[in-house]
Amino acid sequence: MNPLKYKEDLHIYNDIKKEVRSMRIITALFFAVPYILLAKDNRYFYLTLLFGFIFLLVQVLKVKSPWIPVVLTLLLNVSIVATTGIQRSPFMFLFLLPVITHGIERELNWALRVAFINVVFLVIFEIYSAITGDFFGVGYISSVIVLMYYLSKIIVEAQGSILSYATDMKEKAYLDPLTGLYNRRALEEYINSMILNKVPFTLVMCDLDEFKRYNDTYGHQAGDMMLKKFADILKTSIRSSDLSFRYGGDEFVILLLGELENLTPLYDRIKNKLKEQSNDIGVSFGVAIFPKDGKSLDRIISIADNSLYEKKKSLNNRNISSF
């Protein structure tokens, strides 16, 4: 399980789709006039207009199928080029636009998919140019194909870099820089996700005993080192299906899959490993179980926090009695 398997930012994604859709509609409307003036005498002129109308309709209706806009754009571009001079058509560059729009709007591979499909038809036009001896047309179409190749490659590489950077930044935003554990923000998002999906879990809140005195005695650098060591202890004490978080200060949280009642072996394991590091620090635990103890993030945290407070209060009372 990975708490950083985040939901896609729908707001940004929808804005991008809206902009791309607007670009398609505006481009189609702007080039409609010069196309009509140039191709009005061609007998297949009205077929292109039909494709254009369907294309605009699909954009307005926001058809969800990814392939319908691709196929319609291809048919529209082929018909435009075929009715305006084929290899000498001034609209040959329109084959580049779907590579850009689908590459931006969808995942990385769409730029390559659309480019490959378009190249098949461009090669057919190129062969026709070679057969008819129109070497200007051959050179013109070859230039468009080469440009399409580099364009799709640039889009894929740029999007890959942006995605990698965004993922890295998001990962850092959910990590505690000192211990390397997931932070409170990650904990809250992950718990909310588990509650939403009705996944039972056990939350254990851990608090280091006498940590302030340890800090005052040995210094903050030693205190930071102890926090790092305790984070490592948590990571090596839990199952692969469980997660550990730094909640804040000297408070940590363990999130265990399932409704677990007997946590004594886990507590002992953590205490023994901590004792190997220092005799000056102990650890107290508070626990809450979802959905048994609560059905909301605030309730679960509150139950665990209260449980931890009672344990620490009991420990302090014992220390006072011993004194």
Residue 191's identity, in one-letter code, is: I
User: Whole-angstrom Cα distance, residue 273 to residue 305?
Assistant: 23
DSSP 292: T
Determine which one of 176, 207, 242, 250 is catalytic: 250
User: Whole-angstrom Cα distance, residue 300 to residue 304?
Assistant: 6
Token representation of residue 109: 């591979």
Please confirm, yes or no, whether 176 is among the known catalytic residues. no
Q: What is the DSSP string of 111-179?
A: HHHHHHHHHHHHHHHHHHHHHTT-HHHHHHHHHHHHHHHHHHHHHHHHHHHHHHHHHHHHHHHTB-TTT
By CB atoms closer than 10 A (0-12, 13-18, 19+), residue 62 is: exposed
Q: From edge to edge, which strands make up the β-sheet containing 251-257?
A: 243-248, 251-257, 201-209, 282-290
Residues in contact with 193: Cβ distance below 8 Å, sequence separation at least 6, in sequence order: 3
Residues in contact with 58: Cβ distance below 8 Å, sequence separation at least 6, in sequence order: 68, 69, 72
Measure Cα distances from 180 to 6, 174, 205, 212, 288 in Å: 19, 10, 18, 21, 24
Q: Determine how many CB atoms are found less than 10 A away from the CB of residue 166.
A: 11
Tokens 């707001």 belong to which residue?
11
Backbone dihedral region for residue 62 (phi beyond 0: left; psi -120 to 50: alpha; all else: beta): left
CA angle (90 as vertex; 84, 95 as ends), nearest 5: 95
Task: Indicate the SS3 state at residue 286.
Answer: strand
| Active site residue ranges | 250
